[in-house]
Chains A and B, each alone.
Chain A
């Protein structure tokens, strides 16, 4: 295969995954949340159990007027949704789907790249919050900044633990080195990573920056139409990315029976299972208060992550 064709196939595959997986997760959220609350959820769009609900939503968003507040910093205001969305697209590039190089771009410093790019998310929150010229937006944005900066630390520490265990920063390398007993060994890191990841994508119970009952809609208050849809899409891609990273780092990615042929399926199944847990948490738990949020981060997650680092190092030295 010539280089350009290879490149096009990889990019198209990543963009397709970027567009399809969030919709599947979003539809699953509609339905799972509805049934957990004793409802049916969307039933009309697309005739069969409302499968086209999100497509219909997208069409609706496109038709809406693109409004920017008069006092807003127009350029920053318009740029923020793209900044929120784009890092996740880049992250999807390096997430391995299956064995034998089934990855869009295998990077030797994949984990480092992922964590660095995910850190851009806080920038989008601050940009949209400040540029909206709205008090609710600003409050939400500052809460978001405090939360994202705080939870970045346990996230990185937990990821560092598994990188130490595998002895590599490459995501396919980590999955290659993964062994089932790591589920036990890296369990605290897995929990810390998952919880901090939830906070990173600002999902309930960590949706303090959005907090629709107190801050209207936080940093997204002033957004309408397609730009608002971008923020929503970013949220669902965020679920996919956090679920995929948890899968790749801690749940053994493609490992499973017939991994050579069905590796990609195992990865997808695990991603959807973790996504289900993320949706489940949203239904079951109320929002954390700001002080509870910070206490959980600094007094629970960071110490646990540090302890896990010590444990990982000790086991590595002994072995």
Chain B
């Protein structure tokens, strides 16, 4: 029917007009970002052991780390211990591609994602965040989302539960398998000659 499309066009625009717009008034209203948003990387300095894994794994080499060794005298110990002290930890966000590999690879949870994104600069050099600035982002790190109630317990939880229950206790890993019937420990290594005896007797009877 000619003209149907014209009417449909009017209907669509009118319907859209009556609906609420989904526009977020950003500078006035803060956006609600999901907790895992990749805004900026925060550094928890005391967790860092200067293992350099993050700097090495970074695909565009935008993490710069410097450190020195310090001797710590522990009273009662035979020798003074050595420990790494972080001098410099910079992330150049003009190079960073927000892949998150450094955060994944960090063995001690020193790096975290935060949803904060308002750190644009007029000078590109100011995008190099030093460890103090990276440390300030720690305030904005959201708590990790709660575990799925139906999911497997985390590795740490499972380990803690096993330790608490003592050795040999039923764990999730053990009870998950179908039960296997095993002979008692004392009977298993029994010598075989006992078994051929009855046939031998029958032989003698014949």
A residues whose Cβ falls under 8 Å from a Cβ of B: 32, 34-40, 43, 280-281, 283-285
Contacts and interface: CB of A to CB of B under 8 A. Distances in A.
B6 A40 contact: no
B146 interface: no
16 contacts: A35-B17, A35-B21, A36-B16, A36-B17, A38-B16, A38-B23, A39-B21, A40-B25, A43-B25, A280-B10, A281-B10, A283-B13, A284-B9, A284-B10, A284-B13, A285-B6
Contacts of B25: 40, 43
Contacts of A281: 10
Contacts of A39: 21, 23
Contacts of B21: 34-35, 38-40
Interface string B1-30: 000001001101110110101110100000
Contacts of A280: 10, 13-14
Given A43-B25, A284-B9, A285-B6, A37 B16 contact: yes
Chain B interface size, under 10 / 10 to 19 / 20 to 34 / 35 or more: 10 to 19
Given A35-B16, A35-B17, A40 B10 contact: no
A36 B9 contact: no
Contacts of B19: 38
A35 B22 CA distance: 10
A280 B9 CA distance: 10
Contacts of A36: 13-14, 16-17
A219 to B, nearest CB: 28
Given A35-B21, A38-B16, 8 more contacts: A36-B17, A39-B23, A40-B23, A280-B14, A281-B10, A283-B13, A284-B12, A285-B9
A136 B9 CA distance: 30
A13 to B, nearest CB: 33
A284 B11 CA distance: 9
Nearest to B22: A38
B15 to A, nearest CB: 9
A30 to B, nearest CB: 13
B91 to A, nearest CB: 35
A148 to B, nearest CB: 23
Pick the most buried of A38, A43, A281: most chain B CB atoms within 10 A of its CB: A38
A221 B25 CA distance: 34
Contacts of B23: 38-40
A40 B19 CA distance: 11
Contacts of B14: 36, 280
Nearest to B8: A284
Pick the most buried of B12, B13, B23: most chain A CB atoms within 10 A of its CB: B13
A211 B149 CA distance: 59
A283 to B, nearest CB: 5
A36 B17 CA distance: 4
Nearest to B25: A43
Pick the most buried of B12, B19, B22, B23: most chain A CB atoms within 10 A of its CB: B23
B175 to A, nearest CB: 54
A32 B17 contact: yes
Nearest to B24: A40
B9 to A, nearest CB: 4
A281 B9 CA distance: 9
Contacts of A285: 6, 9
A181 B12 CA distance: 31
A289 B17 CA distance: 27
Interface in B45-88: none
Contacts of A40: 21, 23, 25
A278 to B, nearest CB: 12
Nearest to A282: B13
Pairs of residues from A and B, 6 with the lowest C-beta to C-beta distance, nearest first: A284-B9, A36-B13, A35-B17, A36-B17, A284-B13, A40-B23
B19 to A, nearest CB: 7
A110 to B, nearest CB: 32
Nearest to B10: A284
A43 B9 CA distance: 27
Nearest to A32: B17
B160 to A, nearest CB: 51
Nearest to B27: A44
Contacts of B12: 284
A249 B140 CA distance: 65
A283 B17 CA distance: 11
B158 to A, nearest CB: 48
A39 B25 CA distance: 11
A285 B13 CA distance: 10
Contacts of B6: 284-285
